[in-house]
């Protein structure tokens, strides 16, 4: 199943007792605030879920494009990193606390 914004808006509206318009407004503002903080280079920590931060990928010299065979330099890039909390990682991997 693919989870998209429309699905989340409906779920939030249902679970929180909001109208879909209210839930959509909340979602839009939540996303806007996350984006603004990341653009400022700030770290975002949401307890019980994880941490977003802006990372940097080093550039590469003499990189060969696999499609064209052309040799080129790649500039450094900024990227978004997400680190989930330990409990979420364990749930995703099928491990729970106390198991080996």
pLDDT digits (tens, 9 = 90+) for 45-88: 999 999 999 999 998 888 888 899 999 998 999 999 999 999 99
Residue 65 lies in a domain: no
Domain count, the chain: 1
Residue 5: predicted pLDDT? 93
Query: What backbone phi and psi angles, to 5 degrees, belong to 96?
Result: -125, 165
Q: Which domain holds residue 29?
A: 1-42
Residue 33: predicted pLDDT? 97
Q: Is 37 helix (H, G, I), strand (E, B) or coil?
A: helix
Residue 35 lies in a domain: yes
Higher pLDDT, 62 or 14: 14
Residue 32 lies in a domain: yes
Residue 33 lies in a domain: yes
Element (H, E) at 61: strand 60-64
Residue 84 lies in a domain: no
Residue 55 lies in a domain: no
Chain centre to alpha carbon of residue 46: 12
Could you count the other beta carbons within 10 Å of the beta carbon of residue 60?
Answer: 12
Residue 90 lies in a domain: no
Residue 2 lies in a domain: yes
């Amino acid at each position: 199943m693919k989870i998209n914004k429309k699905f989340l808006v409906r779920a939030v509206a249902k679970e929180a007792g909001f109208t879909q318009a209210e839930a959509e407004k909340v979602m839009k503002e939540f996303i806007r605030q996350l984006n603004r903080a990341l653009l400022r280079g700030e770290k975002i920590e949401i307890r019980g879920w994880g941490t977003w931060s802006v990372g940097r990928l080093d550039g590469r010299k003499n990189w060969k494009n696999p499609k064209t065979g052309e040799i080129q330099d790649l500039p450094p890039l900024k990227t978004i990193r997400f680190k989930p909390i330990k409990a979420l990682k364990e749930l995703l991997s099928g491990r729970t606390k106390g198991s080996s």
